[in-house]
Homo-oligomer: A and B are copies of this chain.
Amino acid sequence: MSGDISPLAPKRYPELPAIDGVRIETAAAGIKYKGRTDLMLMVFDQPAAVAGVFTTSKCPSAPVDFCRGNLGGGRARALVVNSGNANAFTGQKGRVATTMTAEAAAKAVGCTEAEVFLASTGVIGEPLDATKFAGVLDGMAQSASGARWLDAARAIMTTDTYPKVATRTAKIDGVTVTLNGIAKGAGMIAPDMATMLSFIVTDADIEPEALQTMLGHYVGSTFNAVTVDSDTSTSDTLLVFATGAASGSGAGRIAGADDPRAEGFAKALSDMMEDLAVQIVRDGEGARKQVEIIVESAVSDGSAGRIARSIANSPLVKTAIAGEDANWGRVVMAVGKAGEPADRDRLAIWFGDVRVAVDGERDPGYSEASASEVMKRDEILIRVELGIGSGSARVFTCDLTKAYVEINGDYRS
């Protein structure tokens, strides 16, 4: 595995302010590697509202099962995340590890185990030795502080080449509230959802049901609209926490997602989710190019989405992009294989602003030179018009390079 940072990494990271009501600490617990920061604790000194979305995998990890069980309570006091081991497909040992971690976190923070949330990312199938956490969580809960967001983002990385952070503000009742988010993910990334962890915290005061509804509204067009390799993790977890601390400054409680006072907040949340999701794609294993696929005039949004994913997940499309080849024939192939309604003779395809195909054949005005120029960029838009309806969808992906094969052909060693 090369230690190179993705060429699509941000040139600089935004400064994430402390958020009232949450403290953060990281540690090197020695889960897989010695001396590497691999453990992150968030402490909510007052119970925070929590909402979440998880992998659709039929073989979810033990921490996903654990979080699902606690989500109904709607309140969080601690979040414990480790990298290096996914605690997935670890059977009874996996459940023992989540129980032990939750007990240690509850004791360290002074809450019940039902207020603890967990996530793990890394190798599947290796038992996770949770005794490594038990010894360090007490001290972490003591020393946790507000402005540790970039450290937190680094602690949850696996094959990621850069930490993923984002921050936004919004007004509720005229008072500024803040949202901070971190994410990780680089491979085993596909819609519904990705090998992806993301944790967002706000000081806004929002009821869990309202937060959950907002997540449901926005996850489809953000985290579920990215794919690196079509592979879906056992461990995908997106959690949003609202500490409510801003209510002390006059940003009153939001009880429902349709409350007009929450409009700005919802917009900021959606925008941040897209930002973090696209950061994941830009760090796709071996990625050299970010690719945006837009499918328009399909019979429905759902159909457009399935066609967009078929294009985004096609190895032949992705290798052509890696080779800077405007091979729109492979886009036609991927439209055709999606199994969705399409009329070959009405298809039009653009690479960037160059229309390469129209009415089911090569655009007579198409210039190979201008298409080649588009393909040299590091952000490439592929747009497909089906011409048969009004459904549309957008999906983000990256190219498929030799480096992806290299990284994944030698991951466990």
Q: Which residues of A contact B (CB under 8 A)?
A: 55-60, 86, 88-94, 123-127, 187-188, 190, 229-234, 313-316, 319-320, 322-323, 325, 327-330, 332-342, 344-345, 347, 357, 359-362, 400-402, 404-406, 408-413
Contacts of A229 in B (CB 8 A): 315-316
Known contacts A333-B59, A336-B58, A405-B405; is A327 also within 8 Å of B361 by CB?
no
Contacts of A408 in B (CB 8 A): 315-316, 319-320, 323
Whether A230 lies near B336 (C-beta < 8 A) is: no
Known contacts A316-B187, A347-B59; is A401 also within 8 Å of B405 by CB?
yes
Whether B402 lies near A333 (C-beta < 8 A) is: no
Known contacts A60-B344, A332-B124, A400-B405; is A327 also within 8 Å of B92 by CB?
no
User: Whole-angstrom distance from the CB of A88 to the nearest CB of chain B?
Assistant: 7
Contacts of A338 in B (CB 8 A): 58
Whether A341 lies near B402 (C-beta < 8 A) is: no
Whether B361 lies near A93 (C-beta < 8 A) is: yes
Residue in chain B with minimal CB distance to A86: B329
Known contacts A59-B347, A89-B344, A413-B325; is A234 also within 8 Å of B315 by CB?
no
Whether A333 lies near B233 (C-beta < 8 A) is: yes
User: Whole-angstrom distance from the CB of A65 to the nearest CB of chain B?
Assistant: 9
Known contacts A127-B362, A405-B322; is A58 also within 8 Å of B340 by CB?
yes
Whether A411 lies near B89 (C-beta < 8 A) is: no
Residue in chain B with minimal CB distance to A316: B231
Whether A188 lies near B325 (C-beta < 8 A) is: no
